[in-house]
Amino acid sequence: MKFGVVVFPGSNCDYDTFHALQNVMGQETVFLWHKDHDLQQVDCVVLPGGFSYGDYLRSGAIARFSPIMQEVKKFAEDGGLVLGICNGFQILLESGLLPGAMLRNKNLKFLCQYVNIRIENDRTAFTGAGRKGQVLRIPIAHFDGNYYAPPELLEELERNNQILFRYCDEKGNLTGEANVNGSLHHIAGIVNRKGNVMGMMPHPERASEKILGSEDGKIIFQSIINYLEKKKGKKSPGRTVSRPISPLPPLIGTF
Amino acid sequence: MIDEKTLADHNLTREEYDLIVRLIGREPNLTELGIFSVMWSEHCGYKSSKVHLKKFPTKGKYVIQGPGENAGVMDIGDGLAVVFKIESHNHPSYIEPYQGAATGVGGILRDIFTMGARPIAVLDSLRFGPLDNPKNRAIMEGVVSGISGYGNSFGVPTVGGEVYFNDCYSQNPLVNVCCVGLAYRDRLFLARASGAGNAVIYAGAKTGRDGIHGATMASAEFGEDIEHKRPNVQVGDPFKEKLLLEACLEAMAKNLIVGIQDMGAAGLTCSTTEMAAKAGTGMEINLDLVPQREEGMTPYEIMLSESQERMLIVAEPEKVEELKKIFNKWDLDAVVIGRVTDDGRLKVYFHGELVIDIPVKAVVDLCPAYRRPARKPAFVNKISRLRKPEMPSDLNQVFLQLLASPNIADKEWVFRQYDHMVQVNTAVLPGADSAVLRLKGLKKALAMTLDGNALYTFLNPRRGGQIAVAEACRNLACAGAAPIGVTNCLNFGNPEKPEIMWQFREAIEGIAEACRQFEIPVTGGNVSFYNETGGRPIYPTPVLGIIGLIDDINKVPSAGFKAAGESIILLGENREEFGGSEYLRLIFSEEKGQPPALSLAKEKKVQECCRQAIRAGLVRTAHDVSEGGLAVALAECAFRSSRRIGFRVKLNDVIRTDALLFGETQSRIILAVRKKDARKVLNLARKMKVPAKVIGETGGKKMEIWHRGKKIIDLKVELGYQAWKNSIPNYFKIKK
Amino acid sequence: MKVRILVTLKESVLDPQGQTVRNALHTLGYHQVRDVRQGKVFEIELEGSSREEAEKIVPEIADRVLANPIIEKFTWEILEA
């Protein structure tokens, strides 16, 4: 399958995500430059983590106006798969592709740490390779990850099974301590009503290799691959990329 | 005419001024004086330290670039090079903790990527006054958020470092930031303005009145509204820096750059003169072309501004357009402000007038070097005498107190504010002896650590310097890494005081000796003098940053115990030593005695043994013994195991029990190995003539230590863990 | 024309920054302080705009960009005509 990782000015998990998709998951992966209008026929768009436009106004608030996001919106309306990770999630919220908003973490500190998240709905394009109730160990790294939505919206998210991940302890219990950033209903990741746009604060690309301490993040990428294979009725060619893995990122973006 | 007051404001002596007049053949104007003032300052000119810094070994088989450039460069094979350096930002961090620390990070990042390397890790060494003082807490909170705010946004992981507390830092905190970058061996760039006729390009943020050498502000040239023109605290813009990084690396990859230097301290002055001096050329620039953020800036202000996120680039004229296109792609300005000449002079024009015309060599290379007088301070002999402390009645209690001492306690409160995982290379998370970064696609890996023990250096600067090197190398050995290169940050008081100079000289000689013994070159670093407030200097604080190379990342042991029922082995020997220990400081309020003895030869063997055992795949856990001694080291292994596995250790050394538990004897490493492998490790140690014995076993929920048949420590792991874990956060709890 | 736009969190949204400031003021002895809400200030210079024009575009800018209507509200005023 073909993945596109969007590069905004200030994105800093772009190559990490690219590496996980191409070098770990063996998928064809391209960078999508924010000033471009071409989605290069990808099957799934990923908005990576980072500090787009410095996050100086609000996290993700400026990126939504970039040319590529106009295409991503159309792509999403047509049912294309869009995954937003961390800052990518914030951009999806700001652009209205997902409901809700992010507030500062409850302790008013940037938090970089492993968290446990529980899969709440395994019948989506993003969680199909996992099972409901399964606990994943994946790191977070954010300042604004405290999910907020007004009560009626929360209720709607609950009713429609749109909450995909909740912060929990290692056994899957929703303890107050486990909800490190203070998100309402422990929300760590949600999907839109149609099921094709997902945002999550934890970084699956940081938990996709044993040497980094966890491989649980691969479940999210594998779910997407499985879903796309089923939808397109063909197997992903698997490790199409035989280039040696570069320790340094390539040049990104076009004039 | 330059009067005494103006000279004093510029920190220049009459003799230095006379030398300037001789060198340029006339009286300098005020702007020229400003240039000499910053370039001949201690910070840029190293005038008090130069003669001593020469003592460091700087050559070795891995060295590509030694001292004198923006950073040191080491060859690590596979076509890759590591670029690394440490810098201090102590004074700015005291004045404005957040921006001081943030711009400290920004500055060192530019030093690294200006050489063609992508920053892949930051480590920082922080020292503050005690946390029970709210002022110190505010400084610490500001510094940590500043590092976090800048590094996280830029996208470099902050993977390690150290945090210490001592009253001597209450009005002079230390913020030392070390950055490590990765580059292609054949794509390194130097700060050289080569090729007369080449274009001089200014790229990045606009110039404002940030951080201009404040003392000169009273001068008449600045007109009436001085208040309005006060030098501002430098403010960092990590977003702009990230764009600058990408633009620079792209221009470098496309071979559009001849030479490049960042504008850090002394901004445009330093970058123009140094680049020209190093290339043996000159430079002509027009200040009207420099992008400016504020109106009405004088040449003095433009030349000396320390606005952040700026670069000076030299490029061939036909490549300028493509270069500009790349910077524009990254939403940055890049403008030609002048050209390289061959007359060896810096000529600066402003409103059509030649306002500066000086030989660059005089500014850069002819800064006087002083062999300042050094004298052993009178207090040294007094504080080195130590009466053995009284034996505490409750060693469990002492143990708990030590675990909760902020110098020993868990630093998670600090490092969880840093993004330590971005770039997906961090294989060993912060908190271990050294940080380990994998290199994507390769089996080899990098280990890195920062170390220094100011109390040891205060008590005995020479040995303190040696121990700093030894301990840093020991930290690397615990990851199975061999040290390959050193950078250091030397934080001292006022060098014009003979006592401070003595500490400086002694520490340097100690560090140099240890580096020679470990066969590791010093490739650069930073000297920070005048760390004193109200005449009270900080403890002499050399901080060593050492990079190590790991053959096989899959063999790196963990810092915590991995499983119950494993053998605990102690490499090295226990001796009865109290001096300079955290035990003595915390429990008896004594900062006295001689720091632990150190035999560099023995130390080297212990480390080599540890490394070989790791390479043989025998080691599951490795941790060095340092502050807090053996008991604390064992406890840390228990706390850092995911299931908090306890231990039972039995010791029979004929020394005092408290020294055995908490003494800080050097050259000791704790290993945990599978039972079946214990014999192999002991055999290896015997062959290498390294003392080693099995001292106990992992397992259970308790920490138990026996001495000569008597149980002396008996504490639930969880109890110790809570004390260790909550100590620092408790100081920062929001009071309701 | 110069306008000032003030963006704050809605009353229904928890403001931990404001709370922290309030707590700090209390520890400093300012017990009169009952509540603190923290916000952002934007000062915007508009070129050649009339009051009517400003009344049209300022709320639009604030609503579309400066504030996130899910969590924030805004007020604005003209500083210099």
Q: At what angle do helices B629-639 and B395-404 cross, to 10 degrees?
A: 60
Would the CB atoms of A206 and B421 count as touching at under 8 Å? yes
Using an 8 Å CB-CB cutoff, list chain B residues near C22.
none
* pLDDT given for residue A251 in this prediction: 87
Cβ–Cβ gap A148/C65 under 8 Å: no
The Cα–Cα gap between B247 and A9 comes to 11
Q: Which amino acid does the sequence have at A111?
A: L
Q: In the structure, what pLDDT confidence band is assigned to residue B230 with cuts at 50, 70 and 90? A: very low
The DSSP result for A175-192, as a single string, is -TTT-TT--GGGEEEEE-
In 3-state terms chain C splits into helix, strand, coil percentages (rounded to 5) of: 35, 30, 35
Residues from chain C that touch A108, judged by Cβ atoms under 8 A, are: 16-17, 20
Tokens of A10: 């200030």
Tell me which residues of B are annotated as active site.
43, 89
CA distance A73 to chain B (A): 24
CA C4/CA B419 separation, integer angstroms: 35
What is the predicted pLDDT for the residue at B45?
86
Q: Assess A111–B contact: CB distance below 8 Å, yes or no.
A: yes
Which structural domains are found in chain A, ordered by start?
2-231 (3.40.50.880)
B214, pLDDT greater than 50: no
8 A C-beta contact, residue A131 and residue B436: no
Q: Is A16 on the interface with C (CB under 8 A)?
A: no
Query: By CA distance, what is B153's nearest residue in A?
Result: A51
From C16's Cα to the closest Cα of chain A, the distance in A is: 7
Q: Could you give the residue numbers annotated as active site of A?
A: 86, 203, 205
**Which structure tokens are listed for B27?**
């009286």
Total length of chain A: 255
CA–CA distance, B433 with B479 (Å, rounded to integer):
8
Q: C32 CA to chain A: closest CA distance, Å?
A: 24
Confidence (pLDDT) at C12: 85
Pairing state between β B482-491 and B541-550: antiparallel
CB of B213 closer than 8 Å to CB of B34? yes
A-B C-beta contacts closer than 8 Å: 111
Length of chain B: 736
For chain A, which chains pass the contact test of at least 3 CB pairs under 8 Å?
A: B, C
Whether the CB-CB separation of C45 and C1 falls below 8 Å is answered with yes
Distance CA A66, CA B495 (A): 54
Residue C70 to residue A101, Cβ atoms within 8 A: yes
Residue B570 has pLDDT above 50, yes or no: yes
Per-residue exposure over B134-155, b if at least 16 CB sit within 10 Å of its own CB, e if not: eebbebbbbbbbbbbbbbbbbb
Q: For residue B217, what pLDDT band results from cuts at 50, 70 and 90?
A: very low
Chain C residue numbers touching B735 (CB-CB < 8 A): 23, 27
Asked if A10 and B424 come within 8 Å (Cβ–Cβ), the reply is no
Considering all CA atoms of chain B, what is the largest pairwise distance in Å, rounded to the nearest integer?
Answer: 88
Predicted local distance difference test score (pLDDT) of residue A239:
56
CA distance to partner chain B, nearest, from residue C23 (Å): 6
- Angstrom CA distances, B202 to A211, B34, B134, B312, stand at 42, 21, 43, 5
Question: Looking at residues B647-654, what average pLDDT do you find?
Answer: 97
Q: Which residues of B are less than 8 Å from C27 in CB distance?
A: 735
**pLDDT for A10:** 95
Give B512-562 pLDDT, tens digit per residue.
Answer: 999 999 999 999 999 999 999 888 999 999 999 999 999 999 999 999 999
- Best mutation target among C25, C27, C30, C36 (most B Cβ atoms within 10 Å) is C27
| A51: chain B residues, CB-CB within 8 Å | 152-153, 155, 238-239, 242
Is residue A121 within a helix (H) or strand (E), and if so which, with residue range? none
Q: Tell me, what DSSP letter sits at residue B222?
A: G
Tokens of B264: 């850090």
* Predicted pLDDT of residue B225: 46
Helical ranges in B315-407 per DSSP H: 320-329, 360-364, 379-384, 395-404
Task: Give the containing element (helix H, strand E) for B61.
Answer: none
CB of A210 within 8 Å of any CB in chain B? no
Which helix (H) or strand (E) element contains residue B175?
A: strand B174-184
- For residue B422, give the chain A residue with the closest CA: A13
Q: Report whether B115 contacts B84 (CB < 8 A).
A: no
Are the CB atoms for A196 and A11 separated by under 8 Å?
no
Q: Is the pLDDT of residue B95 over 90?
A: no
State whether residue B383 is helix, strand or coil.
Answer: helix
Instruction: pLDDT band for B734, please (50, 70, 90 cuts).
Output: low
Nearest to B32 by CA among B259, B343, B313, B363: B363
Q: Which residues pair with B695 in a beta bridge?
A: none
CB contact under 8 A, B442 and A55: no
Choosing among A5, A11, A12, A209, which should be mutated to test the B contact, i.e. which has the most B CBs within 10 A?
A12
CA A61-A143-B100 angle, 5° bins = 100
Residue of A nearest to B327 (CA): A255
Question: What does the pLDDT read at residue B425?
Answer: 97
Question: Do B80 and A247 make contact, defined as CB atoms within 8 angstroms?
Answer: yes
Angle of the B675-687 helix axis to the B600-615 helix axis, nearest 10: 140
In contact, B112 and B71? CB cutoff 8 Å: yes
User: B26-42 burial string, b = 16+ CB within 10 Å, else e?
Assistant: eebbbbbbbbbbbbbbb
Strand partners, B532: B537
Banded pLDDT at B220 (limits 50, 70, 90): very low
CB spacing of B152 vs A110 below 8 angstroms:
yes
By the CB < 8 Å criterion, does A151 face chain B?
Answer: no
Given a contact cutoff of 8 angstroms between Cβ atoms, the answer to whether B568 and B671 are in contact is: yes
* Pairwise CA distance, residues B368 & B40, whole Å: 8
Model pLDDT, residue A5: 98
pLDDT, tens only, B400-424: 999 999 999 999 999 999 999 999 9
Please indicate if any CB of chain C lies within 8 Å of the CB of A112. Answer: no
Q: What are the Cα distances from residue A181, in Å, to A117, A140, B199, B208, B458?
A: 13, 10, 50, 38, 42
**pLDDT exceeds cutoff 50 at B70:** yes
Q: CB distance A51–B152 less than 8 Å?
A: yes
Q: How far apart are CA B226 and CA B228, in angstroms?
A: 5
Q: Is the minimum CB–CB distance between B309 and chain A shorter than 8 Å?
A: no
Q: Which residues of B429-455 are buried (b: 16+ CB within 10 A; e: fewer)?
A: bbbbbbbbbbbbeeebbbbbbbbbbbb
Of C12, C16, C66, the CB nearest to A104: C16
With residue C26 as reference, give the H or E element that holds it: helix C16-27
Could you tell me where the beta strands, DSSP code E, fall in C1-81? 2-9, 39-45, 72-80
Q: Mapping DSSP to helix (H, G, I), strand (E, B) and coil, where does residue B151 land? A: helix
Whether residue C27 lies within 8 A of chain B, CB to CB, comes out as: yes
B308 touches A: beta carbon within 8 Å = no
Phi, psi (rounded to 5 degrees) for B520: -125, 130
Instruction: Report, as an integer, the average pLDDT of B486-493.
Output: 96
How far is it, in rounded angstroms, from Cα B512 to Cα B500?
18
Ramachandran area for residue B378 (φ above 0: left; ψ -120 to 50: alpha; else beta): alpha
Instruction: Please indicate if any CB of chain C lies within 8 Å of the CB of B733.
Output: no
Per-residue pLDDT tens for B462-475?
999 999 999 999 99
Structure tokens belonging to residue A126: 């993003």
H or E, element range at B705: strand B702-707
Distance CA(C79)–CA(B299), nearest Å, equals: 35
Which residues on A lie below 8 Å from C71 (Cβ)? 101, 103, 148
Nearest to B644 by CA among B633, B656, B636: B636
The residues, ordered by sequence, that sit 6+ positions from B661 with a Cβ below 8 Å of its Cβ are B395, B399, B629, B630, B631, B705, B712, B713
Q: Using the beta-carbon criterion (under 8 Å), do B736 and C27 form an inter-chain contact?
A: no
B256: DSSP letter: -
Measured over the CA atoms of residue B215, residue B218, residue B221 and residue B226, the dihedral's sign is positive
pLDDT of B671-706, one tens digit each? 999 999 999 999 999 999 999 999 999 999 999 999
Angle among Cα B272, B72, B175 to the nearest 5 degrees reads 85
Query: In whole angstroms, what is the distance from residue B203 CA to residue B317 CA?
Result: 15
Per the listing, tokens 């492998």 go with B677
Structure tokens at A105: 């973490």
**B483 pairs with which residues across the strands?**
B548
3-state secondary structure of A56: coil
| Structural contact between residues A190 and A198, judged by C-beta atoms closer than 8 angstroms | yes
Reported as a pLDDT band with limits 50, 70 and 90, residue B736 is very low
Q: Is B733 on the interface with A (CB under 8 A)?
A: no
Q: Give the number of other CB atoms < 10 A from CB of residue B85.
A: 27
pLDDT at A26: 95
- In a 3-state reduction of DSSP, which class is residue B376? coil
State the DSSP code for B559: S
Length reported for chain C:
81
Domain ranges of chain C: 2-80
Considering only the top CATH level, what class is C2-80? alpha beta
Say how far apart CA C57 and CA B412 lie, in whole Å. Answer: 47
- Chain A within 8 Å of C14 (Cβ-Cβ)? yes
Q: Which of C53, C50, C55, C47 is nearest to C77 (CA)?
A: C55
A101 vs C: CB within 8 A: yes
Which stretches of chain A score pLDDT less than 50?
A: none
Token pair in block for residue B385 = 């005498």
Question: What are the tens digits of pLDDT across the range B9-68?
Answer: 888 999 999 999 999 999 999 999 999 998 998 888 889 999 999 999 999 999 998 888
A212 touches chain C (CB under 8 A): no
